[in-house]
Amino acid sequence: MLAEVVFAIIGWIIGFASSYLMWKVQTRYEQKNIARALYLELSSLEEQLRAFTGAFTNPPPGANRDTPMKIDQPFYTEGLFFSFRKEISTFNDELSNGLYQFYIHLLRAEESRQVGETDMFFKPANDAMKDDIIKAYGLLPDLEKLLEKEFKGYL
């Protein structure tokens, strides 16, 4: 009787341990896939952000840097951030905080971009949009390195 209880407990421990290890392996695999997907998304946004940052910081000849710039193209409306908000928080603190900061800047820039030219708040919103795009672009190099480190070996 005692032997049966001991074997049952040992069996339960082995089953629990193997389930836990499988869960950890699966979670890590999913995390690496999410990191790779976010890396690809950031890489695809980089060229657009570089172009806007260049236009904001080095305006064409004859244009004033403080002149409002109307942009009709959305910066970020539908993307992986909305799909993986919860999963982003499972990355290490530096990566998750950096990703949240990057996407917050993009979302605020998009919100500011939508302010109409006839709105009395267009100029301040336009300045905020420019600042947020420049800040988001500045975060890209470090985020790409951190994401690449996260999924290393999966490219």
What does each of the 155 residues of the chain score in pLDDT, given as a tens digit? 888 888 888 888 888 888 888 888 888 888 899 999 999 999 999 999 999 998 888 877 776 767 788 888 887 888 899 999 999 999 999 999 999 999 999 999 999 999 988 888 988 999 999 999 999 999 999 999 999 998 885 44
CB atoms within 10 A of CB 46: 14
Each residue's pLDDT tens digit, 55-97 = 888 877 776 767 788 888 887 888 899 999 999 999 999 999 9
C-alpha pair distances (Å), 129 with each of 62, 67, 88, 133: 21, 13, 24, 6
The amino acid at 140: L
Diameter of the chain by CA atoms?
92
pLDDT at residue 37 in the model = 94
DSSP assigned state of 67? S
Distance CA 75, CA 98 (A): 18
pLDDT at residue 152 in the model = 82
Cβ pair 102, 143 in contact under 8 A: yes
- Among 6, 24, 136, 133, which Cα is nearest to 69's? 133
pLDDT at residue 119 in the model = 85
What sections of the chain are H helices per DSSP?
A: 2-57, 80-83, 85-88, 93-113, 122-150
Distance CA 71, CA 114 (A): 9
pTM: 0.81
